[in-house]
Amino acid sequence: MTGWVAVAGLGPGDDALITPQAQSALAEATDVVGYGPYVARVAPRPGLVLHPSDNRVELERAAHALDMAAAGRRVVVVSSGDPGVFAMAAALFEALETRADADALDIRILPGITAMLAAAARAGAPLGHDFAAINLSDNLKPFAEVERRLRHAARGGFAMAFYNPRSKARPHQFARVLEILREDCTPDRLVIFARAVSTPDEALRTVTLAEATPEMADMRTVVIVGSEATRRVGRWVYTPRSVP
């Protein structure tokens, strides 16, 4: 039997947002590997082995998936959203760098609907022009680098999408992020807090930068900051297609 490894995105939460391609890979899989809550979204069935693991063991998890594929298993590594956006696809390639069989392995990256796109669709079209996606977590980069990228994105006129905006382990950093934004953006800039999009807990809230507070974000929230041109029409928020 020829093994393979597919790195699949399960989308933001609603099963209707899992692509048919990811569903077929899961239907053919012998093993599913990933962070516990994502593996829990895969229905158990006879012949399928689930390997949930902790959040912080990405490289070990990727190496385990590659080992199993090399041994002939059909492995799906699951991420939420899209596997290439702050997720497992890059970790898999990092693990691949240490192997001699890089091109002999059958590897597939199956895209998914990432949180910022699901959130943007609920709000209207706030990412309708140029935008930058920034991971605010300092687990994998120093916070000084987060600050630097944030300033450049704000000064560059981009709309922005923030992933991992705020956690219990680092409650103060998002307050600092708002401070930095206030240095470069006017107080009427629109900010969308989109929590648990496409799940039963979904909550969307649009405020101005002046009204935004750190408590409006948590780890289940993606924050979209509009550009200077982003505006409201009725209950919608959108960024026009052209810049004057």
Residue in 152, 148, 172, 177 with CA at minimum distance from that of residue 162:
177
Residue of 34, 61, 68, 114 that binds ligand SAH (CB under 6 A) = 114
Residue nearest to ligand SAH (CB): 81
If one asks whether residue 222 binds ligand SAH (CB under 6 A), the answer comes out as: yes
Binder among 197, 224, 225, 237 for ligand SAH (CB under 6 A) = 197
- Determine the Cα–Cα distance for residues 202 and 22; give it in Å rounded to an integer: 23
Shortest Cβ 128–ligand SAH spacing (Å): 19
Of 39-47, 69-77, 193-201, 203-211: span binding ligand SAH (CB under 6 A): 193-201
Residues between 18 and 77 with contacts to ligand SAH, criterion CB under 6 A = none
Of 151 and 170, CB closest to ligand SAH: 170
Burial class (CB in 10 A: 0-12, 13-18, 19+), 202: middle
* Binding test (CB under 6 A) with ligand SAH, winner from 5, 6, 7, 12: 12
Instruction: Return the range that interacts with ligand SAH (CB under 6 A); candidates 48-56, 101-109, 178-186, 189-197.
Output: 189-197
- Tell whether residue 111 is a contact of ligand SAH (CB under 6 A): no
The answer to the question of residue 227 lying near ligand SAH (CB under 6 A) is no
Residues from 143 through 182 that contact ligand SAH (CB under 6 A): 163-165
What is the binding site for ligand SAH (CB under 6 A)?
12-13, 79-82, 85-87, 114-115, 119, 163-165, 194-199, 219-222
